[in-house]
Homo-oligomer: A and B are copies of this chain.
Amino acid sequence: MMHQISSSPFNNAVEKLASLPGIGNKTALRLVLQLLNRNQQEIEEFGNAFIGLSDQIQYCNSCYNISDTSTCSVCSNSSRSDDVICVVENILDVIAIERTNQFSGKFHVLGGIISPMEGIGPGDIKIHELVERINKNQPKEIIMALSTTMEGDATNFYIYKKLAHLDIEVTTIARGVGIGDEIEYTDELTLGRSLLNRIPFKNTLSLK
């Protein structure tokens, strides 16, 4: 489709944008054209933002969240409890959980989940670091908050086994019918789980 444009810097920029997931060739073309409407300084700032990524990004030494400092803002927040660690796949999950305002512990960002299909083994994500951290800090509870995919389940189970010999409570976030969802449109697995894991109604009365 792009054979009519004989500009290698242009095609190169289009190709790079199209290499991102969910951005097709045509969208990339539009985006690069839009960039070309900006002045030279703005375009250079755009490019430099990504070059900066490669050498300036740091991760928190404790939870592996992305951070400017060796300890991220969550880990260095003394009003948050060290007793509970919530294990998540990536920082999008950190953001999602923080938005709920329902969690005041610390996180542990695995940076992926075990996926034999994609060649990601336990050694490729921060499981070893999690176990070390637990041994060192002795938290009371680990909340597993991974996706309910086959990979998520495998990662949950792997970590659960790794922690089995420790005196620590391992929990997992509740699965059930979403707030605002209708029963009749809920898939049977989710609905089944929400029945099995039903809770006393009075427990819901104090929730906001």
Contact A9 B52 (CB under 8 A): yes
Contact A2 B95 (CB under 8 A): yes
Within 8 A of B (CB), among A16-51: 16, 19-23, 26-27, 29-36, 40, 43-51
Contact B13 A49 (CB under 8 A): yes
Cβ 8 A contact of A22, one of B27, B49, B74: B27
Contact B57 A53 (CB under 8 A): no
Contact A29 B66 (CB under 8 A): no
Question: In the complex, A54→B169 CA distance in Å?
Answer: 56
Interface SS of chain A: helix, strand, loop or mixed? helix
Contact A48 B47 (CB under 8 A): yes
Contact A57 B10 (CB under 8 A): yes
Contact B4 A95 (CB under 8 A): yes
Contact B7 A57 (CB under 8 A): yes
Contact A94 B4 (CB under 8 A): yes
Contact A54 B49 (CB under 8 A): no
- Chain copies in the assembly? 2
A101 → chain B, closest Cβ, in Å? 12
A174 → chain B, closest Cβ, in Å? 22
Q: How many residues of chain A are within 8 Å of chain B by beta carbon?
A: 60
Tell me whether A68 is interfacial, beta carbon within 8 Å: yes
Tell me whether A134 is interfacial, beta carbon within 8 Å: no
A119 → chain B, closest Cβ, in Å? 12
Tell me whether A5 is interfacial, beta carbon within 8 Å: yes
CB-defined A-B contacts under 8 Å, sample of 18: A4-B74, A4-B91, A4-B94, A5-B65, A6-B69, A6-B72, A9-B56, A9-B68, A16-B50, A22-B30, A23-B31, A29-B91, A33-B91, A40-B55, A43-B53, A47-B51, A47-B52, A50-B50
> What is the interface of chain A, defined by CB distance below 8 A to chain B?
1-2, 4-10, 12-13, 15-16, 19-23, 26-27, 29-36, 40, 43-58, 65-69, 72-74, 90-92, 94-95, 98-99
